[in-house]
Amino acid sequence: MTRLYIIRHGRPAVVWGGADEDPGLDAQGEAQAVAAARTLLALPEGARPSRVASSPLRRCRETAQPLADALGVELEIVPEVGEIPTPAGLSPPDRPAWLRAAFGGRWSAIVGDLDYDAWRRAVTAAVAARPRTAIFSHFVAINAALSVIEGRDEVIGFRPDHASITTLEIEGGGLRVVSRGREASTGVL
């Protein structure tokens, strides 16, 4: 039984669709990052992560850093667990509307220039390749992995709150959800 954890980043300084396309954390997000690190460090020795990985985006790196520092390990950057790619030619102000449309549907029906079903499988493969790792990622990427693991096609089946920790287990060559993290009481915005 090998566990791994996928954690949504802490609260960013600005929401998506804002002027800053790669915001860091606000003060609450920084506190959430420290709290997530404490929670993971308090796990029993055999269940505690020994590695830390992150999406390349700043809000994830900043959420992951307190745990990496506490464990004395290098933060591994994993592009595959980054944000869902925006279709080419879609301007940043149009991204929120595109995401809202995608959120209400199925992976197989997302409009764009990418095979989003293949993207979600790549997210899941990147997660599965990192046993005993705490992986800091994003709302949609976490949903991508869980949808593959649970055999669902809905884009949104889980609303992970900021710094929410979902526990996965590698079992028989695949992944199994042990427990979902805390869900947000409000929407993504």
pLDDT digits (tens, 9 = 90+) for 21-40: 788 999 999 999 999 999 99
pLDDT digits (tens, 9 = 90+) for 39-91: 999 999 999 999 999 999 999 999 999 999 999 999 999 999 999 998 998 88
Measure the CA–CA gap between 157 and 150, rounded to whole angstroms.
10
Q: Looking at residues 95-122, what average pLDDT do you find?
A: 93
Q: Is the pLDDT reported for residue 19 higher than 70?
A: no
- Identify whether the C-beta of residue 60 lies closer than 8 Å to the C-beta of residue 83: no
With pLDDT > 70 as the criterion, what percentage of the chain qualifies?
95
Position 51 scores a pLDDT of: 98
Position 189 scores a pLDDT of: 43
What's the full length of the chain, in residues?
189
Single-letter code of the amino acid located at 55: S
Q: Looking at residues 169-174, what average pLDDT do you find?
A: 90
Measure the CA–CA gap between 4 and 21, rounded to whole angstroms.
29
Whether domain 2-179 has CATH 3.40.50.1240: the reply is yes
The 3-class SS string of 122-151 reads HHHHHHHCCCCEEEEECHHHHHHHHHHHCC
Q: Where do the structural domains in the chain lie, given as residue ranges? A: 2-179
Name the more confident of 17 and 130: 130
